[in-house]
Amino acid sequence: MKKKIVSIILTAAMTTSLLAGCGSSAGDTAAPAAAAEEASTAEGAAPAAAAEETATAAEGAAPAAADEGSVLNIQCWNEEFKSRVTDHYPGYEKVNDTTGKIGDVTVNWIITPTDDNAYQNHLDEVLPVNESAAADDRVDIFLVEADYALKYVNADPAVAMSMDDLGIAAGDIADQYQYTKDIVTDANGALRGLSWQACSAGLIYNRDIAKDVLGTEEPAEVQEFVKDWATFNKTAEDLKKAGYFVESTVNDSYRVYSNNVSKPWVDGTTVQIDANIEKWVADSKALVDAKETNTYELWSDDWNKGFYPEGKVFAYFGPAWLINFCMAADTEGSVAYDGRWGLCVGPQSFYWGGTWICGAVGTDNPALVKDIMLTMTTDKAVLREIVEKDSDCVNSPSLLAELAADTTFGSKILGGQNPYQQLADGAEKVDMSNISDYDQGCNESFQTAMKDYFEGKVDYDKAISNFQTSVKEKYPELSF
C-alpha cells in the first residue's frame, strides 16, 4: 500500500507539470506532451514501473515489469479515450497521432470507426484469437459501449479479463457507481470492465417555456410537473395548449422507460416485452396522436430544432455531455447560448452513454493494463482534471458530492444551476441489473418498428410482427 501512495504522489507531481505545461495553450495537445517528456526524462518510467512493483508487492501474482511486453495495443472507435490518456495519464508521451510511449512500452492506438459495425467486426476477428497472436500484435486493452458491453463480457471463452485476474480488489473500486459495474458484470457475477464516466441523465427543460406554462423555472418546482409519467403526460397537454411540444420526439423518452424495466429483453432464448416498454408505446402513441410530440430520429436536424426557441420544445432527456457539447451552446440565439436550460430528475432515473475499459484476455502487459484502468477510473486527481478539462461527469460519488457542494460552481448553459447534485442522485438510482446481451439490437428494432405504428402506417400487431422479424434477423437463436 505504501508503494501505491508513492505512485499517487508521483502521479500528482506529473499532473502538476502537465498542467503547468498546458498553461496558456489549453487546446494544444503538443504542449502537455512535451512537458510530460521533459518531466519523464528525469523520472524515466517511474510511475509505470513503480505501479508494477506495487502490484508485485501487494498481490504477488502479477508478473514483474521486466516480463511485460514492449507494445501496448489499444482498440477503440474514436479519439475520446486517447485524448483522456494523452492529457491525464502520468508518464504518457505522445509520439505521433496513433502511437505513444509509457516508459519503454510503445502504445498503439488502433481506431476502427463504428460505421457499419466495423468496430465490433474488428473486435470479433481479433479477440477470440488474441492469446495465440504474436506478443506485439496482441490486444491489451479494448473499449466498449454499454449497448453491446455484455456481448464481450459474457463471451465464452472470456475475452475481457475479470478484476480478479487483473488483481483489482473490490476495495480499489468502491468509489464507483453500481450501475457502471452492472453493465460490465458477466452472468456469473465477475466484473470485467471499468468506466471513468457516470453518464446519469435527467430532464433538461427550457426555462422560458416552464415559466410561461408552469409558472416557475426552479428545478425543484418544475420536477413536480414531471415527477411521474401520468403527471408528465398531463403537463404535455397544458404545453400543447400553449403551443409547445413536451419533448422533441418520442425517442427522447425511450431510454428513460427502457432503463427502468423489471425484466430483461431476453429470458433464456425467449424475447419478452416489459410492461414499462409497453407503457412507452401507449404513452407515446397518445402523445403523437395529440400532436404533443413527434417521431423524429435522435440526432436528426428535426430533433435539433428545439435547441433554439423557435423549435418550441419544452424538454430533452439527456446527460451532462448533451448539455455541454451538443445543444449548440456557442451559437447565438440558441437556448443554451442564453443559458435558459434547467435540469431536473424527471419521471424516472436513467443514464445515457459512457465508455468502458476492458483488459483483453491474452494481454502481455497485465500490470500496465491494471494501472491504466485504475488510474483513469479511480485516481481522484485524474478524475478531477477530467471534469475540469473535458467536462465529463465522472464515476466517483465522492468527487461528485464535492462538486455538488461547491456553491461557486454554476453552469452557464443551465442559467447558473449546479447540476452535480441531480446527476449524482440520478446515478445512484440507475438500476441496470436487467440488461441482456441483446439490448442494442432489441432496442433499435423496437423503436424502428413502433415509429410506423405511431405514424399510423401500420397497426400495433403489424408493428410487433415487424419487430419480431427484425430481431430474428439479428439473432436467429431467439424465439417469441
Partner 1 sequence: MDNRRVKKGASVTTRRMIAYIVLILVTFLCLFWFYVLFINATRGHSDLTRGFTLIPGGFALKNWDSLMHSSQPVLLGMRNSLIISICTAVLSTYFSTMTAYAIHAYTFKIRNAMFTFILAVMMIPTQVVALGFIQLMGKMKLMDTYIPLIIPAVAAPATFFYMKQYMESALPMALLEAARIDGSGEFRTFNSIVLPLMKPAIAVQAIFTFVANWNNYFTPALVLTTDNKKTLPILIAQLRSADFLKFDMGQVYMMIAFSIFPVIVVYLILSKHIVGGVAVGAVKG
Partner 2 sequence: MDGGKKKKSNSNVVKYNKWGYIFLLPFIIVYGVFQLIPFVSTIYYSFFENYRSGLKQIGPNFIGLENYATLLSNADIWKYTENTFFMWILGFVPQIVISLLLAAWFSDPSLRLKGQRFFKTVIYLPNLIMAAAFAMLFFTLFADSGPINSMLVNAGFLSEPYKFMSNTWSARTLVGFMNFLMWFGNTTILLLAGMMGIDTSLFEAAEVDGATAGQIFWKITMPLLRPIFVYVLITSLIGGLQMFDVPQILTNGEGAPDRTTMTLIMYLNKHLFNKNYGMSGALSVILLIITGILSFAVYKFTTNQETN
Give the other-Cβ count within 10 Å of 117's Cβ.
10
* 329 counts as binding partner 1 under rule CB under 8 A: yes
Rounded distance between C-alpha atoms, residue 301 and residue 291, angstroms: 19
Rounded distance between C-alpha atoms, residue 258 and residue 147, angstroms: 12
State the binding partner of 80 from partner 2, partner 1, none, CB within 5 to 8 A by kind.
Answer: partner 1
Comparison of 96 and 407: residue with beta carbon closer to partner 1: 96
State the binding partner of 110 from partner 2, partner 1, none, CB within 5 to 8 A by kind.
Answer: partner 1
- In the complex, the smallest distance separating the C-beta of residue 355 from partner 1, rounded to whole angstroms, is 8
Comparison of 114 and 269: residue with beta carbon closer to partner 1: 114
Residue 26 in grid coordinates: 489549453
- In the complex, the smallest distance separating the C-beta of residue 195 from partner 2, rounded to whole angstroms, is 20
- In the complex, the smallest distance separating the C-beta of residue 135 from partner 1, rounded to whole angstroms, is 18
How many residues belong to the site for partner 1 (CB under 8 A)?
A: 33
Tally of CA atoms within 13 A in the half-sphere of 431 that contains its CB: 10
* Structural contact between residues 384 and 11, judged by C-beta atoms closer than 8 angstroms: no
DSSP state of 246: E
- In the complex, the smallest distance separating the C-beta of residue 418 from partner 2, rounded to whole angstroms, is 34
Residue 117 in grid coordinates: 459495425
Residues 430-449 as x/- pattern, contact with partner 2 by CB under 8 A: -------x----------x-
Q: Which stretch binds partner 2 (CB under 8 A): 51-59, 251-259, 331-339, 468-476?
A: 468-476
Residue 444 in grid coordinates: 433499435
Cβ within 8 Å of residue 404, ≥6 positions away: 418, 420, 421, 424
Site for partner 1, residues 275 to 314, rule: CB under 8 A? 301, 304-305, 307-308
Among 114, 270, 300, 391, indicate the residue that binds partner 2 (CB under 8 A).
300
* 124 counts as binding partner 2 under rule CB under 8 A: yes
* 134 counts as binding partner 1 under rule CB under 8 A: no
- In the complex, the smallest distance separating the C-beta of residue 301 from partner 2, rounded to whole angstroms, is 5
Residue owning grid cell 417521431? 295
* 461 counts as binding partner 2 under rule CB under 8 A: no
Cβ within 8 Å of residue 384, ≥6 positions away: 394, 399
Rounded distance between C-alpha atoms, residue 332 and residue 90, angstroms: 38
- For the chain, the C-alpha Rg in angstroms (whole number) is 23
* 183 counts as binding partner 2 under rule CB under 8 A: no
Rounded distance between C-alpha atoms, residue 251 and residue 280, angstroms: 10
How many residues belong to the site for partner 2 (CB under 8 A)?
A: 35
Q: Is 472 exposed, middle or buried (0-12, 13-18, 19+ CB in 10 A)?
A: middle
Among 151, 181, 192, 207, indicate the residue that binds partner 2 (CB under 8 A).
151
- In the complex, the smallest distance separating the C-beta of residue 248 from partner 2, rounded to whole angstroms, is 11
Closest CA to 256 of 296, 292, 325, 203: 203
Rounded distance between C-alpha atoms, residue 30 and residue 94, angstroms: 8
* 251 counts as binding partner 2 under rule CB under 8 A: no
Residues at the contact surface with partner 2, assessed by CB under 8 A: 116-117, 124, 127-128, 151-152, 154-156, 159, 294-297, 300-302, 305, 437, 448, 451-452, 455, 457-458, 462, 466, 469-470, 473-477
Residues at the contact surface with partner 1, assessed by CB under 8 A: 77-80, 82-83, 97-98, 110-116, 118, 121-122, 125, 301, 304-305, 307-308, 321, 325-326, 328-331, 334, 390
